[in-house]
Amino acid sequence: MLYQIYEAQRSLMEPFADFAQAASKLYSNPLSVFGQNPFAQRMAAGYDLIYRLGKDYEKPEFGIKTVKVDGGELAIHERVEIDKPFCELRRFKRFSDDPAILNRLKGQPAVLVVAPLSGHYATLLRDTVRTMLRDHKVYITDWKNARTVPLDQGAFHLDDYVNYVQEFIRHLQAEYGNCHVISVCQPTVPVLAAVSLMASRGETTPLTMTMMGGPIDARKSPTAVNNLAMNKSYEWFENNVIYRVPTNFPGAGRRVYPGFLQHSGFVAMNPDRHLSSHYDYFKHLIAGDDASAEAHRKFYDEYNAVLDMDADYYLETIRVVFQEFRLVNGNWDVRNPQGELERVQPQDITTTAHFTIEGELDDISGSGQTEAAHALCHNVPKARQKHLEVKGAGHYGIFSGRRWREVVYPQVRDFILQFNAPPAAERKPASARKKVAAERKGATRARATAPVRARGR
């Protein structure tokens, strides 16, 4: 019922927001009668702020049309490579008229950026993608708003997330021979699971895996986000944050964690900061500081655009990652597309180099949570492991902004280049790989026949 009340309120506010936008334009136009009022600039600023507080924020565009490389510009064509019910694998293809540049681009590494499915759209990683495009072929997981997915497309579980990631990795491997994976925040856990399962089956795993600010082990340095997930019961989340999508959306009837509830939680974490930010925006408009005002608009156009998450996926993430810690406890079983249960065993990863990155001031994923991946992947040689703590950086600073571009990205780029070829251990005969895969598949089937806890399917 709460979702329906919210939609009714939003529909009621829409004409007032439109009126505020029109009034702001009238007062800011010096040729209009309203614009000649001595308080016109203040009135325009006030109405503009009312409009932005009341408007509906749709999914933003990536908007990456060109990228500067070696003093020139490359044209970027954005296209969907794979369209799944809950996600699109999106590619940013680069073009140039210079044969020398094209030849250089062909030899650059292919990177799968796995964006978080935790409230915001993948466009939150716009700066990550734009920077990576200088030296890499870039793909990203563009997760869909669950309220736009019809019920006949089925539910979406955490297991499905893991299976999607494996499918996307195989797609890049088929195209380029191999690839690199970068996960930001929430997907560090399902990405590590996906690569672990591939290793357990004897499949070729990505050359590198970069994990940034994610809850691999949420028990370490718990933040307010972790504490909420750990201190409330599974039933509390199911009873208090899960609602059905109203009839005016394609996904009518689907159980979701609504985006508007998530947004309320985001704002509640730092209400004073948001209040002062909006007041500063009002002052920038009065002072005619267009650059600062535009920076505010860009940030909140992204921050206020939220999506609904499928209830099964969300609740399973709460239980698996933040309450039962199944990844670090070694008892996480994932159901593959064939319906078989497979145990997630990070120790089976032996060749994929991995790089963990944390922000010193991260208030989402605390210190040590991402670094915990190294202990889990203990069969990867130490020479193929790296950790970075970014001084002075918060959660967003490790993948967006100046610190990302100047401190983090150069190290990510160099790490990928350093391991942009399979180690000798992976270059074993196909017969040997098949034998290992067969042995591991037998063990997997044995686990699948064992009694397991009901998973809400």
Residues 198-250: pLDDT tens digits? 999 999 999 999 999 999 999 998 888 888 888 899 999 999 999 999 998 99
What's the DSSP call for residue 93?
Answer: E
Beta-carbon-side half-sphere exposure of residue 144 (alpha carbons within 13 Å): 18
Which range is least confidently modeled, 19-23, 157-161, 222-226, 356-360?
222-226
- Give yes or no: residues 91 and 143 share one domain: yes
pLDDT of residue 228: 86
The answer on pLDDT for 450 being more than 50 is no
Range among 51-60, 95-104, 179-188, 232-241 rated most confident: 179-188
Regarding whether 101 and 40 lie in a shared domain, the answer is no
Give how far the C-alpha of residue 321 lies from the chain's centroid of Cα atoms, to the nearest Å: 16
- Give tens-digit pLDDT for 111-136: 999 999 988 999 999 999 999 999 99
396 and 268 part of one domain: no
Residue 84 domain-assigned (yes or no): yes
Are both 291 and 358 inside the same structural domain? no
Task: Work out the angle at residue 268's Cα, subtended by the Cα atoms of residues 264 and 270, and round it to the nearest 5 degrees.
Answer: 130
Mean pLDDT of the chain: 90
Shared domain check, 405 and 288: no
Q: How many domains does the chain have?
A: 2
The proportion of the chain whose per-residue pLDDT surpasses 70, expressed as a percent, equals 93
User: Do residue 90 and residue 112 come from a single domain?
Assistant: yes
At what angle are helices 40-54 and 2-28 packed, to 10 degrees?
A: 160
Q: Considering the domain boundaries, does residue 251 fall inside one?
A: no
Are residues 284 and 375 located together in one domain of the fold?
no
Residues 164 and 227 placed together within one structural domain of the fold:
yes
Helix (H) or strand (E) holding 244: strand 243-244
Q: How far apart are CA 335 and CA 282, in angstroms?
A: 51
Nearest to 190 by CA among 143, 145, 232: 143
125 shares a domain with 79:
yes
Residues 225 and 355 grouped into a single domain: yes
In a shared domain, residues 334 and 274: no
Domain extent, residue 263, equals: 2-56+259-303
Does any domain span residue 248? no
Report pLDDT for 33: 79
* 149 and 209 assigned to the same domain: yes
Residue 456 domain flag: no
Q: Considering the domain boundaries, does residue 243 fall inside one? A: no
The answer as to whether 27 is a domain residue is yes
Higher-confidence position of 455 and 397: 397
Cβ contacts of residue 242 below 8 Å, gap of 6+? 255, 256, 257, 311, 314, 315
Residue 254 lies in a domain: no
CATH number for the domain that contains residue 333: 3.40.50.1820
- Within 8 A by CB and 6+ apart from 94, the residues are 67, 74, 75, 76, 105, 133, 137
pLDDT on residue 12? 85
